[in-house]
């Protein structure tokens, strides 16, 4: 088992790496990253070319997005293995050691963050390979430079967040290797992520304060939709045509994030419907429930496999399998929360408004109205067609 970082624990003791000079390790890591990035970019470019002239743009985009979901994790793992094999960990450790010195919790946490985030460069290269196709299908004029700047901001933000997480784990020390300490640490971090989620959004994405007209409009429509938020920020993504509305934070301290594209494309009726849908999800705690199920499943399934959590008389693999199946069932049952949120939105507006809002948002984002069971599980959300059907069934019963 790889030990979690504790005070004075060097990253070199956590993951064995080839012994070589820092310069050789850095050059080898760059070459490995460049090689995987080139292959990923070429593969996604060639795959995307198949769909650039597609008549059904929504179906084509669904295929491309599905390739992202399955291909990006594979690309990341390949890049991580290739870079680690030529001394990436030594290079990152040496660079951080030169900057912060040796043996500090912050230094070890930053090294691990850099080691884990660095290979994502190959994933970004794959996305850039598919970018021409995405731009053509979505009819957007976002430049490669703008995308690169946003990815750079996201990368820097993730490094900061991951470093803070590892610092917290390192501060706990050996206590995290016990079952109570392991569970308490993970769920403590989960609570902190809920508390800090509004600032996390602002860290990773470009936002601005709403104009006076936007503020007045949103305040009026939020009140009508039953959405009580403490602050409002506008996401600057109009060039990418992303129609988004997000509610983050704990009750009484929630922040609303709306994209500038959403504000410009929706009239008051449909914007109120969109806000009512967000209010409904906030009331049923859909995001919090989904995060708890996912994190809980990972924690209680991984714990027995690495020996942190044990059940007397039962093998770790058996415990992990039972926990995994329970997590899948919880995700499946959790879809009901979305139905309840939709019902709340319909009560605050009307069924027709909610239905047309769901369709309108799908159209603005070139999103499909139907998706499979795996996607429904992953999102803990039924397809849009099923949501509309449920609203109609509810109206018929009433």
For 285-331, the pLDDT digits (tens) are 999 999 999 989 988 888 887 777 777 878 888 988 999 999 999 99
The beta-carbon contacts of 36-40 under 8 Å, at least 24 apart in sequence, are 36/75, 36/78, 36/79, 36/82, 36/119, 36/122, 36/125, 37/79, 37/121, 37/122, 37/124, 37/125, 37/126, 38/125, 40/71, 40/75, 40/122, 40/123, 40/125, 40/126, 40/129
Residue in this structure with the two tokens 């040796």, named with its chain if needed: 102
| Residue 398, pLDDT score | 76
The neighbour count for residue 22, using CB atoms within 10 Å, is 16
Helices and strands in the chain, H and E counts: 17, 4
pTM over 0.75: yes
Q: What angle do CA 189, 339, 331 make, to 5 degrees?
A: 45
Q: Are 51 and 60 in contact (CB under 8 A)?
A: yes
Q: Which of 52, 67, 261 is nearest to 137 (CA)?
A: 52
Beta carbons within 8 Å of 249's beta carbon, 6+ residues apart? 194, 195, 197, 198, 230, 255
Query: Which residues of the chain form beta strands (DSSP E)?
Result: 207-208, 231-235, 245-248, 255-259
d(CA 250, CA 258): 18
Length of the chain as a residue count: 398
Q: Which of 231, 238, 155 is nearest to 197 (CA)?
A: 231
What's the number of CA atoms in the CB half-sphere (13 Å) around residue 87? 17
| Residue 12, pLDDT score | 52
| Residue 281, pLDDT score | 97
What tokens appear for 205 in the block?
């994405």
d(CA 241, CA 220): 25
| Residue 155, pLDDT score | 94
Q: Which helix (H) or strand (E) holds 101?
A: none
Q: What angle do CA 44, 46, 47 make, to 5 degrees?
A: 60
Beta carbons within 8 Å of 134's beta carbon, 6+ residues apart? 48, 61, 64, 140
d(CA 26, CA 83): 9
Tell me, letter by letter, the H, E, C secondary structure of 193-217. HHHHHHHHHHHHCCEECCCHHHHHH
Q: Which of 255, 259, 216, 223 is nearest to 240 (CA)?
A: 259
Give me the tens of pLDDT residue by residue for the chain, a chain 398 residues long.
Answer: 334 444 445 555 444 445 456 678 889 999 999 999 999 999 999 999 999 888 999 999 999 999 999 999 999 999 999 999 999 998 998 888 888 877 678 888 999 999 999 999 999 999 999 999 999 999 998 999 999 999 999 999 999 999 988 888 877 777 677 777 777 888 888 888 888 999 999 999 999 999 999 999 999 999 999 999 999 999 999 999 999 999 999 888 999 999 999 999 999 999 999 999 999 999 999 999 999 999 899 888 888 877 777 778 788 889 889 999 999 999 999 999 999 999 999 999 999 999 999 999 999 999 999 999 999 999 999 999 999 999 999 999 87
DSSP state at residue 116: H
What's the number of CA atoms in the CB half-sphere (13 Å) around residue 164? 11
Q: Are 283 and 292 in contact (CB under 8 A)?
A: no
Q: Which of 6, 14, 22 is nearest to 116 (CA)?
A: 14
Residue in this structure with the two tokens 């994209």, named with its chain if needed: 259
What tokens appear for 58 in the block?
């929504």
Residue in this structure with the two tokens 């700047």, named with its chain if needed: 149
For the chain, what are the domain ranges?
14-140
Reduced to 3 states (helix: H, G, I; strand: E, B; else coil), residue 353 is helix
């Amino acid at each position: 088992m790889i030990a979690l970082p504790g005070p004075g624990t060097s990253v070199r003791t956590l993951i064995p790496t080839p012994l070589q000079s820092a310069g050789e390790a850095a050059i080898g890591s760059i070459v490995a990253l460049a090689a995987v990035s080139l292959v990923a970019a070429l593969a996604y470019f060639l795959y995307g070319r198949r769909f650039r002239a597609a008549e059904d743009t929504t179906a084509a985009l669904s295929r491309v997005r599905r390739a992202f979901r399955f291909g990006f994790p594979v690309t990341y793992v390949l890049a991580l293995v290739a870079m680690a094999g030529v001394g990436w960990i030594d290079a990152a450790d040496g660079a951080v050691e030169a900057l912060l010195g040796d043996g500090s919790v912050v230094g070890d946490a930053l090294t691990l963050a850099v080691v884990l985030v660095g290979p994502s460069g190959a994933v970004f290269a794959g996305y850039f390979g598919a970018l021409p196709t995405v731009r053509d299908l979505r009819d957007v004029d976002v430049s490669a430079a703008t995308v690169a700047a946003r990815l750079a901001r996201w990368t820097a933000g993730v490094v900061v967040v991951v470093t803070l997480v590892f610092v917290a784990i390192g501060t706990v020390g050996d206590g995290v290797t016990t079952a109570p300490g392991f569970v308490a640490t993970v769920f403590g971090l989960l609570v902190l992520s809920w508390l800090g989620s509004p600032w996390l959004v602002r860290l990773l994405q470009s936002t601005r304060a709403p104009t006076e007209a936007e503020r007045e409009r949103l305040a009026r429509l939020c009140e009508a939709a039953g959405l009580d938020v403490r602050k409002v920020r506008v996401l600057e993504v109009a060039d990418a045509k992303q129609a988004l509305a997000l509610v983050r934070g704990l009750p009484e301290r929630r922040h609303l994030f709306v994209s500038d594209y959403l504000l410009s494309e929706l009239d008051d009726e449909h914007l109120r419907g969109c806000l009512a849908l967000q209010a409904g999800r906030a009331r049923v705690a859909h995001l919090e429930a989904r995060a708890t199920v996912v994190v809980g499943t990972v924690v209680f399934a991984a714990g027995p496999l690495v020996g942190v959590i044990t059940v007397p008389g039962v093998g770790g693999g058996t415990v992990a399998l039972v926990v995994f199946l329970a997590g899948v069932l919880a995700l499946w049952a959790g879809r009901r929360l979305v139905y309840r949120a939709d019902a709340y939105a319909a009560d605050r507006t009307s069924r027709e408004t909610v239905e047309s809002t769901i369709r309108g948002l799908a159209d603005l984002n070139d999103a499909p109205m139907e998706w499979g069971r795996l996607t429904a599980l992953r999102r803990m959300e039924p397809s849009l067609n099923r949501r509309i059907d449920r609203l109609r069934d509810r109206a018929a019963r009433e």
